[in-house]
A and B are shown apart, each in its own frame.
Chain A
Amino acid sequence: MPRDSSVNRRSFLKAAGGAAAAATLAGCAADPDETTSGSDGGAGDGGSNATDGGDGSDGGSGGDVLTYARGNDSGTLDPQNTTSGEDVKVTNQLYDQLIMFKPGETSLRKGLATDWSLDGTTTTLTLREGVTFHNGEEFTAADVVATYNRFVNPDYEHYPGDDYTSAYGPFTLGNWIEEVTTDGEYKVTMQMTQKYAPFLRNLAMFAASILSKKAIEEKGTDLKSEPVGTGPFQFEGWDTSNQRIRLSANDDYWGDAPQVGEVVFTAVAQNSTRAQTLDSGGADIIDGIGAQASKVVSNSSNAELVEKAGINVGYMAFNMAKVEEFQDKKVRQAISYAIDTKAIVDTIYKGIAEQASQPIPSNVMGYNDDLSPYGQDLDKAQSLLEEAGYGDGFSFELATFKNPRAYNPSPIQAAQTVKSNLQEVGIEVSINQQSFNPFLDYTSAGKHDACFLGWMTDNADPDNFFYALLHPGISTDDVPDGQDYVGFDTEDFNTLNVAAWANTDYMTLVEDAQTTYDEATRKEKYNQAAQLAHDEAPWVFIDHAKELRGVANGVEGFTLAPISGPFLNLVSLN
């Protein structure tokens, strides 16, 4: 072989080595955008503490770095750019809202506004003075206006685009606000399009977090990775290769200042590993705990399991628009009696949920104490079916998502229970299981006969359940006479109402409650609406899931908040 057409061993090795080195450099070079890191000296206090400890296990105890472990890393740090609860855990540390939730409760407290009133279609707010953003700018009414415009006003110079702003823009603010005006630096007036009782609660949602006008103008969509808020913690760095977001205490915070120097949000995908990480000292607080992981935590001598009723609901909806049998109330009641929801909640969900009797859980205003869950009663179910003329049974398809959701930790097993329960009264169920996103497409297009679904609250208002999930979104005049359902193709139909239920009595009740500001009257209306939903049974009410957290022994002051939070500024480490 002529020498010039071949590569000898030595040059081959050299070339290979060089190429490998080049590949390493090209592939591994740190990208400043992707691994933004605090410039003020790396490990800081926490680092040296852990070094001194030197026991091979993680920091956490002893240091003043609080580690919060969850299932996934954040997708964005901009509250206007997300609908994901995972993202919100971090943005809630960085940002404040005008009105805020009390830690661990569903009632409201002062936030960046110190006083407010909702009168007719006008909301006026008095803003807190002397608050500064993490970029040093003072907080004023101009920030509120800029925040609003950036979220829902496409004509605004710094509007980041429809595919950037989340659906919460119109859902919480845009649909209700006509215009936001200011009167001096600390007075804001929001003119609304109609009377809307839950509005103040919408202002307390994460999506209504207040952004800095200057940051909006300077950073634009870079706010997704360089957040600037007024919250108790400020952003230090996002190390994506370690799925870690580092925040440091904002010592100038207007409220309860943080007790720890730093908070680190970290991601551990598997529930059981996350629980083991907590047990072995690698994390201080963990969430996303299923039945299996809750056992690890409750058996641990280093941590304890904290639980609280969540604000959610899990149900099986009858598609009345599609299945003729479901249009008969007796059939829906019969199925409600035939399904052993107690067994589903106790055995399949392993007790991390409680049985439901109505659309809202007991910690939401308007809960009807007189209602109790449909207990399993096969004789009653059979006789109801016979009265309805379906004594010989019929068959339908039950659509379900495959992966666990908070309100339904074992969807497939639950579906199988439904199938075997209904078999006993002669109803044949076939199960159609799908991944969650295609499943949502399927159900919002009304292709299901019946489906499992659930809801986690946005603002802890009863309207967020009663109206959002069971109102068809159309006027009572547009519901055909003598019919209590409408088709999915109806104009302006609310596709979250997967039962296609359109009961005009119910609709009137929740519409009135939506525009009534007197709390006692609202409560009464929702009581009646709950009764109606229970009796008419557009859903089989299944469960309200509990919220579970694992908390290390050294952690003090942690309050489990089913809405908003986690309130990490109240937490200290021993």
Chain B
Amino acid sequence: MVSKRFFLKRLLLLVPVLFGVATLVFAILHLSPGDPAKVIAGQRATAEQVAAVRTELGLNDPIWVQYGRYLFDIVTLNLGDSYIVRKGVPVLTILRARLPVTLELALYGQLLGILFGIPLGVLSAVKQDTITDHLTRVGALTGISVPIYWSGPLLILLFAQFLGLLPASGRIASAYDVPVYTGLITLDSLVYALSGGGFGAFQSAISHMLLPAAVIGVYSMALISRMMRSSMLEVVRQDYMRTARAKGQGAKITIMKHGFRNATIPVITVIGIQFGTLLGGAVLTETVFGIGGIGTLLVNAIEVGDYPLVQGTVLVFAFLFTLVNLGVDLTYSYLDPRIEQ
């Protein structure tokens, strides 16, 4: 059971967290050197032009006035317009187009992580201290240790350049112009295929998704399988497992029915928390694979000094992260009501 009170309490806690993030982002951007007006006006601009831009953007106002205006804008869900990356386009509009890209990548990564991580973890626990166990554990450790900016290019080298099996970058071949419904390219191209556009675009989208999803999926798979293994080992030693075996129940049923279900509880938490980390991993993956999600967007915005876009992207990132954590907390208290207090 999840009480409403607990739910509301957690929801209210989001407010100070987001306020803190907003303030921190504002402070960091305004303390760092560089004049955004100059960035917008460019290298060829005269001092008067720069001054005109400063006035127009309100950068001449005292810092606390700017801060107040900034907070007010956030509360009214106005994240401002981009300075440079997409000149004059509202930050929310930009994020709305880019966010699904990152979410899709993280989702597929997570999916691969779960599909491979859980069976490997169970296998490893059941066959504890055998060669299978050792191999799985070393594999998992390697998966956690290999950085994305190394494994990514390596996979591109192998699958795109040497074998020519998969594309090196992007989300779909440029020949396809699939209408955007959800922003999730695999879904959109499937809808497009089902509405008579042919399955070529869908195939292309899937083949583009494989490598980047595998790269982030490996990390999450490694973590999940390790968690699954230790949790499973704990459960296997419980009294009720011995009882089940003593009843003469078969080993497979014992493990799957009594062991597995109970062992998944902590794993689900890990999966939830892991999803937040995956969003971060997606930033690196996007850069390596030339995918334009909010990761690439953020890097680009920081490079050119696009204040509103950096602020907006970080805020949305933080919001998602806290939201996922809230979800994890709620799930946890639902699965184990003792947590609630």
Answer yes or no: do A and B interact.
yes
User: Which A residues fall within an 8 A CB radius of B?
Assistant: 1, 5-9, 12, 16, 24, 27-31, 33-35, 37-38, 42-44, 46-51, 54, 56-60, 63, 65, 67, 69, 72-73, 75-76, 81-83, 161-164, 166-168, 170-171, 221, 224-225, 236-237, 239-244, 246, 264, 266-270, 272-274, 276-277, 279-283, 403, 434-435, 437-438, 440-442, 444, 458, 495-496
Q: How many A-B residue pairs have CB under 8 A?
A: 280
Point out the residue from B2, B89, B167, B199 that lies within 8 Å of A7, measured CB to CB: B2
Docked complex Cα distance between A369 and B174 (Å):
46
Q: Mark B49-87, 1 if CB is under 8 A from A, else 0.
A: 100110011000000000000000000000000101111
- Top 9 A-B residue pairs of the complex, sorted by shortest distance between their CB atoms: A51-B200, A268-B290, A59-B175, A83-B42, A167-B45, A46-B175, A438-B34, A243-B292, A438-B33
- The answer for the CA separation of A42 and B176 in the assembled complex, in Å, is 7
Asked if B44 and A167 sit within 8 Å, CB to CB, the answer is yes
Q: CB of B275 within 8 A of chain A?
A: no
| Contact (Cβ within 8 A) A276 B169 | yes
- Which chain A positions have C-beta within 8 A of B33? 434, 438, 441-442
Contact A34 B287 (CB under 8 A): no
Q: With A34-B89, A48-B198 known to touch, is A266 a contact of B174 (CB < 8 Å)?
A: yes
Q: Find the residue from B2, B185, B199, B288 having the highest chain A CB count within 10 A.
A: B2
Contact yes or no, A161 B180, CB < 8 A: no
Q: Closest CB of chain A to B205's CB: distance in Å?
A: 10
Whether B161 and A59, one on each chain, are in contact in the complex, defined by CB atoms closer than 8 angstroms, is no
Sample of 4 more A-B contacts, CB < 8 Å, known A56-B165, A277-B170: A58-B175, A242-B172, A272-B153, A277-B168
* Minimum Cβ distance to chain B for residue A15 (Å): 10
For B37, the closest partner residue in chain A by CB is A163
Chain A residue, CB-CB nearest to B35? A441
Task: Give A344 Cβ to nearest chain B Cβ, in Å.
Answer: 23
Known: A1-B3, A163-B57. A170 touches B176 (CB 8 A): no
* In the assembled complex, B166 has its CB within 8 A of some CB on chain A: yes
Instruction: List B residues 292-308 near A (Cβ within 8 Å).
Output: 292, 296, 299-300, 303-305
Closest to A468 in B: B44
A242 touching B292 in the complex, CB below 8 Å, given contacts A9-B334, A163-B57, A273-B169: yes
Shortest distance between the CB of B98 and any CB in chain A (Å)? 6
Q: Which residues on the B side are within 8 Å of A225 (C-beta)?
A: 89
Flag if A42 contacts B168 (CB, 8 Å): no
Q: Which residue of B lies closest to A32 (CB)?
A: B180
Q: Is the CB of B100 within 8 A of A27?
A: yes
How distant is the Cα of A44 from the Cα of B4 in the complex, in angstroms? 53
Q: What CA separation (Å) do A31 and B1 show in the bound complex?
A: 39
The answer to whether A76 and B87 touch (CB under 8 A), given A241-B101, A268-B169, A437-B38, is: yes
Complex partner residue of A224 from B2, B88, B101, CB under 8 angstroms: B88
> What separation, in Å, do the CA atoms of A437 and B86 have in the docked complex?
18
B182 touches A42 (CB 8 A): no
CB < 8 Å neighbour of B179 from A42, A65, A267: A42
Instruction: Choose among B98, B170, B181, B330 the residue that contacts A268 (Cβ–Cβ < 8 A).
Output: B170
A50 x B181 contact (CB < 8 A):
no
Whether, in the assembled complex, B332 has its beta carbon less than 8 Å from a beta carbon of chain A, the answer is no
Q: Determine the distance from Cα of A264 to Cα of B290 in the docked complex, in whole angstroms.
A: 15
Nearest CB of B to A300, in Å? 8
Cβ contacts under 8 Å, B32 to chain A: 438
In the complex, which residues of chain B have a beta carbon less than 8 angstroms from the beta carbon of A282? 160, 167-170, 173-174
A9 closest partner in B (C-beta): B334
With beta carbons under 8 angstroms apart, the residue of A7, A46, A276 that contacts B156 is A276
In the complex, B183 has a CB within 8 A of chain A: yes
Within the complex, what minimum Cβ distance (angstroms) separates B174 from chain A?
A: 4
Q: A277-B290, A435-B34 are in contact. Are A241 and B180 (CB under 8 A)?
A: yes
Point out the residues of chain A lying under 8 angstroms from B166, CB to CB: 56-57
20 A-B Cβ contacts within 8 A?
A: A7-B2, A24-B182, A28-B184, A42-B179, A43-B177, A47-B175, A54-B203, A56-B165, A58-B175, A75-B85, A76-B88, A163-B52, A167-B45, A241-B98, A241-B100, A241-B180, A242-B172, A267-B292, A268-B290, A434-B33
A70 to chain B, nearest CB (A): 10
Q: How far is the CB of A571 from chain B (nearest CB, A)?
A: 15
State which residues 133-171 of B face A: CB under 8 Å. 153, 156-157, 160-161, 164-171
| Minimum Cβ distance to chain A for residue B99 (Å) | 6
Report the minimum CB–CB distance from A319 to chain B (whole Å): 18
Q: Does B43 contact A (CB under 8 A)?
A: yes
Query: Are the C-beta atoms of B174 and A67 separated by less than 8 Å?
Result: yes
Q: Please tell me if the beta carbons of B168 and A280 are within 8 angstroms of each other in the complex.
A: yes
Question: Are A437 and B172 in contact (CB-based, < 8 A)?
Answer: no
One of A30, A65, A161, A167 near B183 (C-beta < 8 A): A30
- Whole-angstrom CA separation of A476 from B45 in the bound complex: 23
Decide if B183 touches A50 in the complex (CB within 8 Å).
no
B96 at the interface (CB under 8 A from A): yes
Assuming the contacts A31-B96, A273-B169, asked whether A6 and B4 have C-beta atoms less than 8 A apart, the reply is yes
Cα distance, A171 to B45, chains bound together (Å): 8
B171: which A residues are within 8 A, CB to CB?
Answer: 241-242
- Given A6-B2, A38-B177, A167-B44, are A269 and B296 neighbors across the interface (CB < 8 Å)? yes
When distances are taken between beta carbons in the complex, the residues of chain A under 8 Å from B42 are 83, 166-167
B289 at interface (Cβ–Cβ under 8 A)?
A: yes
Q: When A60-B174, A269-B290 are in contact, do A171 and B2 touch as well, CB less than 8 Å?
A: no
Would B4 and A34 count as touching, CB distance under 8 A? no
In the complex, what distance in Å separates the CA atom of A526 from the CA atom of B62? 48
In the bound complex, do residue A164 and residue B168 qualify as a contact, i.e. CB atoms below 8 Å apart? no
**Is the Cβ of A246 less than 8 Å from the Cβ of B177?**
yes
- Decide if A72 touches B174 in the complex (CB within 8 Å): no
Please determine whether B175 and A440 come into contact, CB atoms closer than 8 angstroms: no
CA distance A83 to B89 in the complex (A): 17
| Shortest Cβ distance from A244 into B: residue | B174
Within the complex, the shortest CB–CB distance from B334 to chain A, in Å, comes to 6
Would you call A75 and B87 a contact (CB within 8 A)? Answer: yes
Residues of A within 8 A of B43 (CB): 83, 167, 440, 496
Whether the pair B290, A83 counts as a contact (CB closer than 8 A) is: no
Taking the complex as formed, is B46 at the interface, i.e. its CB lies under 8 A from any CB of chain A? Answer: yes
Residues of chain A within 8 A (CB-CB) of B198 are 43, 47-48, 51
B292 touches A59 (CB 8 A): no
Q: Could you say which of A12, A49, A67, A167 contacts B2, with CB atoms under 8 Å apart? A: A12
